[in-house]
């Protein structure tokens, strides 16, 4: 008998697509070992919020601001190279979420993220969406079940029970946490 998975209507818990994704994989919460340069950095406010909630300092890692990491950020924030260089000087360090030996985020559980939604990093709360030139876009993310199932913005927003306004607000909070205008 096949398992029926009912959607959870509120994204404050694990949205059904994230829960199903965690069950069947692959997920956006895991990476190939050695690809830590692709992890989005944590701002100090995000790190403090998570530490105050979990007190698990082992769930974080420091990574160097490698050329690959900096170039990735430049792709996410086009036209802001000087700001990115100021925030992430080459070969300095940044904080990120830690991963296990298989590349899974230490906060990833069988039902998705173990962190309550309001405790998650801004990037994790925005993903698989991003903002370009003031418009919400759906990232081409093959590890994301919502992307694999919908491939377009409107149905993906519905899967996460969110709106472009919500994503724009989260994106603004991410930028503020980093001191970006």
DSSP the chain: -PPP-PPPS-TTS--HHHHHHHHH---TTB--TT-GGGSPPBPHHHHHHHHHHH--GGGEEEEE--HHHHHHHHHHSTT-HHHHHHHS-TT-EEEEE-B-TTSBBTTEETTEESS-GGGS-HHHHHTTEEEETTEEEE---TT-HHHHHH-SHHHHHHHTT--HHHHHHHHHHHHHHHT--
Mean pLDDT of 43-48: 94
**Residue 137 clears pLDDT 70, i.e. is over it:** yes
**Residue 112 clears pLDDT 90, i.e. is over it:** no
Q: Which of 2-16, 111-125, 146-160 bottoms out in mean pLDDT, i.e. has the lowest?
A: 2-16
The band of 26, judged by pLDDT with boundaries at 50, 70 and 90, is: confident
Summarised one tens digit per residue, pLDDT across range 62-77 is: 999 999 999 999 999 9
Query: What was the pLDDT predicted at 16?
Result: 57
The band of 10, judged by pLDDT with boundaries at 50, 70 and 90, is: very low
């Amino acid at each position: 008998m096949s398992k029926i998975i009912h959607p959870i209507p509120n994204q404050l818990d694990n949205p059904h697509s994230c829960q199903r994704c965690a069950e069947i994989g692959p997920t956006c919460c895991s990476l190939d070992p050695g690809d830590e340069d692709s992890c989005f950095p944590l701002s100090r406010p995000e790190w403090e919020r998570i530490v105050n909630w979990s007190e698990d300092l082992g769930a974080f890692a420091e990574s160097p601001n490698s050329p690959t990491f900096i170039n990735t950020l430049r792709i996410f924030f086009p036209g802001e190279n000087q700001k990115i260089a100021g925030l992430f000087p080459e070969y300095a360090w940044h904080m990120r979420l830690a991963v296990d030996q298989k590349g899974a985020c230490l906060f990833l559980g069988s039902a998705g993220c173990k962190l309550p939604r309001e405790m998650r990093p801004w990037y994790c709360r925005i993903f698989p969406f991003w903002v370009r030139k003031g418009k919400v876009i759906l990232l081409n993310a093959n590890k994301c079940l919502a992307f694999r199932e919908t491939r377009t913005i409107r149905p993906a927003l519905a899967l996460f029970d969110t709106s472009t306004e919500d994503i724009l607000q989260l994106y603004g909070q991410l930028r503020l946490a980093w001191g970006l205008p």
